[in-house]
Amino acid sequence: MKTYDLIVIGGGGGLNIASAAAALGYKAAIIEKEKLGGTCLNRGCIPSKMLIHPANVAEIIRSAKKFGFLTGKLRIDFSSLIKRISHTVDEEAASIRPNYDFYRGEAQFISNKVLLVQGQQITAKHIIIAAGARPFIPPIAGLQGTPYMTSREALRNKKLPKKLLIIGGGYIGCELGHAYGSLGSGVHFMVRGEFLQREDGEVKKEFTRVFSQRHTAHYGTVSKVSYRSKTFSVTVQQKSGQKKQVQGDALLVATGIRPNSDVLGLENTSIKTNKDGFIAVNPYLETSVPGVSAIGDIVGTYMFRHSVNFEAEYLVHHLFVEKKGKPLHYPPMPHVIFTLPEIGAVGKTEEELQQQGSAYVVGREDYQNRAQGLARLSDHGFVKLLVDKKTRKLLGAHILGEEAGTMIHQLVLAMTLNATIDDLARMITVHPALPEVIAAAVDDALGKL
C-alpha cells in the first residue's frame, strides 16, 4: 500500500493544499474523478460569470435608449458564446500541472485512513476531504427521464431556449435565469416560497420587484413535470389550492445542492455527518477521525470558492507550515449574487438581529439620491447598513444595485478591521463616485445614534 504525507479527495478547493504541501517537500496526492479545477472552474463560478457578463452587456445595450441612443434589435450568437466559454474553461482545466501524484477516479474509504482508487489502496498521515457537492434533484413526479438541465448542463447548453422554465428561486437559478433571459429567452420561475430566501428582507422585497419586471414568477409547489413533443409542462400547486400549468422548451432544476459525502464510502469509517449529509468538523476542520479533515461544500459552513480558499490556506499553515494548532477563525464572510439587480452582502440581516434582540440602527440611502445614481438614471438600488447602538460597529451591510459586488468590499474591510461607523465617516469619498451612496448611508446611521 502506497503511503503519502497528504491525500486530498477532490480537485477543486483542495488543489492549493496539495500544491503547497508538495512545494514544501511533502509527498502529496490528489484524487479527482473529473477535470482538475473543481466545480468553480468547470461548472460553476467561472463559466457562469463568463455567461453573465455578456448578459449584462446585452442589458446595457437594451437600456441605452434611455440615454438617447437609437439601437436596433439585438441579435446574439448564443452557440458561439457557449463554445467560447467551454473552450476557455477546458483550456484552463487542462493547464493545471500537478506537482503531486494525481489519481483520476472515485475515492472510496475502506477504513478510517485507507482509500481505494483505481483498484489500489493508498493511505496518508493527513487526508483532506474536499469532494464538494452536486445539484439536488427533488422527487417530483415525472421529472426523472426528461432532458432537464441542472446548472452543469445549463453552462454547456448551445441552444438558446425560447422559453426557459426554472424550478427554484435561489441564487443559482436567479443568476442563470438572468443570463438566459438577458440573452433572449423568456424565463419563468417556479418559486416555492420567495426569491433569495436567505437575504435581508428589504433586499428580497426590492429584488423581487425589479427582477419580476424582466421575468415571470409562479409561486407554489411543483407537483408534476411531463415532457412531450420537445415541450416541458410543469404543474404548480398554488397556495390558493389552484393548479397552474406552465410550458416551455427547456427546464432548469435549481433547487439547491447536496454534499458528495454519500459516495465516499464513509459508512466504512467513523467519520460523522449531520442529518443533511454534511461532514461534521471541529474548529480545526478535523472530522471525528484523527488525521482526516474536511473543507468546502462538503462541510457546508460556507459554500463559496472564496471560503474554501480561506479554509485551504488555514490547513496549509496548520498542518505544514506553522503547526501551532490554532483553531480556524472566520473573518466576516461576504457574498455576491450576480443578477440584475446585483446584490452584495456581509454580516447579519435585519431579521437575524431582530431574532437575537440586538440593539441597532439602520443607515440607508438610495442610488438615485446621489450624483452617480442620477448619471445612471437609476430607478432602483440602495445601501443598507446595520450598526450596533453600543459599539457603533457594523453588524451587517447589504447593497442592491449596480456594482454591488465591488462596492461591498469597502464594508467587508470595515467589518474585518472592526471599524466603527465613526471611522467610516472620517473617510473622504470621491465625488461623484458611486460609493457616495455608502457615505450617505453612513451619515444616515450617525444621525440615528
Strand order through the sheet with 231-237: 221-228, 231-237, 243-248
Q: Which residues contact 262 (CB under 8 A, 6 or more apart)?
A: 277
How many C-beta atoms surround the C-beta of residue 102 within 10 A?
15
d(CA 37, CA 15): 8
Q: Are 284 and 318 in contact (CB under 8 A)?
A: yes
Give DSSP secondary structure letters for 224-282: EEEEETTEEEEEEE-TTS-EEEEEESEEEE---EEEGGGGTTGGGS---B-TTSPBP--
Task: Read off the C-alpha cell for 430.
Answer: 470621491
Beta strands at 2-9 and 120-129: parallel, antiparallel or unpaired? parallel
Sign of CA dihedral 391, 394, 396, 399: positive
Q: Which residues contact 85 (CB under 8 A, 6 or more apart)?
A: 47, 50, 51, 155
Identify residue 232 by its one-letter amino acid code: F
Q: Of 87, 317, 409, 431, which one is the catalytic site residue?
A: 431
Q: Which residues contact 250 (CB under 8 A, 6 or more apart)?
A: 149, 157, 161, 163, 164, 165, 185, 232
d(CA 324, CA 310): 17
Identify residue 99 by its one-letter amino acid code: N
Tally of CA atoms within 13 A in the half-sphere of 51 that contains its CB: 34
126 in active site:
no
216 to 191, 207, 211, 223, 353: CA distances (angstroms): 10, 13, 9, 19, 32
Give counts: helices (H), strands (E), the chain: 13, 21
65 to 156, 179, 214: CA distances (angstroms): 32, 21, 17
Q: Which residues are catalytic?
A: 431
